[in-house]
């Protein structure tokens, strides 16, 4: 049984007042209020960028580009947000679709099937300043092959089910499970060697 707590449905603010405030901002933004949308942006930026950063394998410029794309897409799609879930949940899934959609259509790709020696120095610079196991773990995640990394990030970190991952990543459920198994095995191997 996975120890990962499904975090997707936890709202930014657990209070009813927080949810009301968020809804007021959403309504205002839907009516064209850019200041209200900026408030939503500030509230959600960290989550959205973390997701983009990990899905993009630690590529800072690509992660920032995807983060901007996600918020622009959210502005466009806001009229379609019905409030069935928290705004953050809706935005999170939209972000995944933006990143994976961009990956499918992108002409220029940064290959993540590289060996560690080929990794560009700047890409993981921020991670190197952190301490302890989390630094090694973030590096290991960024080293994963693209599909394995996608599944690990979405399933084990972000809490999506395999059926959801498969739908978003355009793969079969069985493939999602196989990629997750591969990702976990690779990370465990790398982490074990790191501490030998």
Partner 1 sequence: MNMTEQELLEELGRLPRERQPQADLWPGVEARIRPMQARSFRRIPTAIAAAIVGSLVTAFGLSINERMETTAPAFVQTLPATGAGMTYASGVDLEYSGALRDLAGQMQSWQRAGQDGSVLMSNLRVLSEASEELRAAIAEDPQSIYLAQLLASTQKKQLSVMRELLMQRDSVSSYDTDQRRT
Q: What angle do CA 158, 164, 165 make, to 5 degrees?
A: 65
Q: How far apart are CA 192 and CA 179, in angstroms?
A: 20
Instruction: For residue 169, give both structure tokens.
Output: 């990543």
User: Between residues 110 and 191, which has the closer beta carbon with respect to partner 1?
Assistant: 191
Contact 143, 111 (CB under 8 A): no
**List of residues 6+ apart from 14 with CB closer than 8 A:** none
Contact call for residue 195 and partner 1 (CB under 8 A): yes
Count of helix runs (H) and strand runs (E) in the chain: 9, 0
Count the Cβ atoms, other than its own, within 10 Å of residue 129: 7
**Which residues inside 39-68 make contact with partner 1, applying CB under 8 A?**
41, 45-47, 49-50, 53, 60, 63-64, 67-68
- Which residue lies nearer to partner 1 by CB, 27 or 170? 27
Minimum distance of partner 1 from residue 94's CB (angstroms): 14
Interacting residues with partner 1 between 15 and 34 (CB under 8 A)? 32, 34
Interacting residues toward partner 1 by CB under 8 A:
2-5, 7, 32, 34, 37-38, 41, 45-47, 49-50, 53, 60, 63-64, 67-68, 71-72, 75-76, 126, 133-134, 137-138, 152, 156-157, 184, 187-188, 191-192, 195
């Amino acid at each position: 049984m996975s120890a990962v707590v499904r975090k997707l449905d936890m709202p930014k603010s657990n209070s009813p007042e927080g949810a009301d405030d968020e809804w007021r901002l959403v309504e205002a933004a839907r009516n064209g209020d850019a200041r209200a949308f900026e408030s939503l942006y500030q509230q959600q930026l960290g989550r959205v960028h973390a997701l983009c950063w990990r899905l993009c394998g630690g590529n800072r410029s690509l992660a920032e580009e995807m983060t901007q794309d996600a918020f622009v897409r959210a502005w466009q799609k806001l009229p379609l947000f019905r409030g069935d879930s928290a705004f953050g949940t809706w935005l999170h899934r939209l972000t995944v679709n933006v990143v994976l959609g961009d990956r499918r259509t992108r002409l220029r790709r940064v290959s993540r099937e590289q060996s560690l020696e080929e990794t560009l120095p700047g890409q993981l610079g921020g991670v190197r300043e952190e301490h302890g196991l989390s630094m090694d773990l973030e590096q290991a995640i960024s080293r994963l092959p693209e599909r394995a990394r996608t599944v690990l990030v979405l399933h084990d970190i972000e809490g999506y089910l395999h059926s959801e991952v498969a739908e978003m990543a355009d793969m079969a459920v069985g493939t999602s499970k196989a990629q997750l198994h591969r990702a976990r095995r690779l990370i465990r191997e790398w982490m074990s060697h790191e501490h030998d």
